[in-house]
C-alpha cells in the first residue's frame, strides 16, 4: 500500500516558494535539484525546484539575473537555475532578518534518470556540484542530503518544522 500525503502547494520545475505560514509543499524531482532553506526560530521555509546549474550569458538572455543576482529585472525563468534560485532565497531570508547561520539547508534530487553511456557529467551531477558550491560560498549549514542515483523522488516539505518526507520512484533494473 502506498502512502499518499496531502499537499497545499505543488511546486513545478523552475518555481520557488517561501512559506511564511504553515504549508505542505510537494515537488517531484529527477535530475532537478530542490534546495530547502529552513529557519527554526521563525518556522519559515523556502524551497526551489531548479532544472539547470546556472545561466549562461547569451544575446538571448542578457537581461536575466546572473549570479549573484545584481539586477532588479526579473525573468519568468530565473528560478530554473540553481545559482539564481539559491541567491534569491538567501536574499529573501536576509530581508526577514534571518542570518545565514540560522538557515538549515537540505538538498534533494540530481538523479541520472536518462541513462547515458557518455562520460560527461550529467545535468543531475552538475546540479549537485553547483548546489554544493553555493552552500559553501554562502557558508550555509547542510543538514540533510539525498542526491544522485538513477531514480526520481517525490518530496513533501512541512514548512513550519522543515521536515521533509521522501518517496523514491521505482528504481529501474540495471
Per-residue pLDDT tens for 133-172?
Answer: 999 999 999 999 999 998 999 999 999 999 999 999 876 5
Q: 138, exposed or middle or buried, with CB in 10 Å at 0-12, 13-18, 19+?
A: middle
| Dist CA 155 CA 88 (whole Å) | 21
pLDDT above 50 for 71: no
pLDDT, averaged across the chain? 85
**Beta strand extents in the chain (DSSP E only):** 9-10, 16-19, 24-29, 33-39, 44-48, 103-109, 141-147, 153-158, 163-168
> Could you tell me if 5 and 158 are in contact, meaning their C-beta atoms sit under 8 angstroms apart?
no
* Full-model pTM: 0.83
| Dist CA 23 CA 113 (whole Å) | 29
Strands 103-109 and 9-10: unpaired
Q: Would you place residue 59 in the very low, low, confident or very high pLDDT band (cuts 50, 70, 90)?
A: very low
Domain spanning 9-168, CATH class:
alpha beta
Rg (CA), the chain: 16
pLDDT above 60 for 107: yes
**Measured distance between the N- and C-terminal CA atoms of the chain, rounded to whole angstroms:** 25
Average pLDDT estimate for 117-132: 88
Amino acid at each position: 500500500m502506498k502512502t499518499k500525503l496531502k499537499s497545499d502547494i505543488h511546486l513545478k520545475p523552475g518555481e520557488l516558494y517561501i512559506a511564511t505560514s504553515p504549508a505542505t509543499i510537494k515537488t517531484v524531482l529527477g535530475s532537478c535539484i530542490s534546495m530547502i532553506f529552513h529557519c527554526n526560530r521563525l518556522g519559515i521555509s523556502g524551497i526551489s525546484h531548479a532544472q539547470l546549474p546556472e545561466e549562461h550569458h547569451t544575446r538571448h538572455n542578457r537581461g536575466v539575473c546572473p549570479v549573484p543576482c545584481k539586477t532588479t529585472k526579473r525573468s519568468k525563468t530565473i528560478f530554473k537555475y540553481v545559482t539564481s534560485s539559491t541567491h534569491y532565497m538567501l536574499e529573501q531570508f536576509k530581508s526577514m532578518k534571518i542570518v545565514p547561520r540560522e538557515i538549515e539547508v537540505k538538498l534533494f534530487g540530481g538523479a541520472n534518470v536518462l541513462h547515458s553511456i557518455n562520460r560527461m557529467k550529467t545535468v543531475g551531477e552538475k546540479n549537485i556540484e553547483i548546489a554544493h558550491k553555493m552552500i559553501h560560498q554562502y557558508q550555509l549549514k547542510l543538514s540533510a542530503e539525498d542526491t544522485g542515483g538513477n531514480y526520481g523522488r517525490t518530496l513533501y516539505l512541512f514548512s513550519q518544522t522543515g521536515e521533509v518526507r521522501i518517496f523514491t520512484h521505482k528504481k529501474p533494473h540495471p
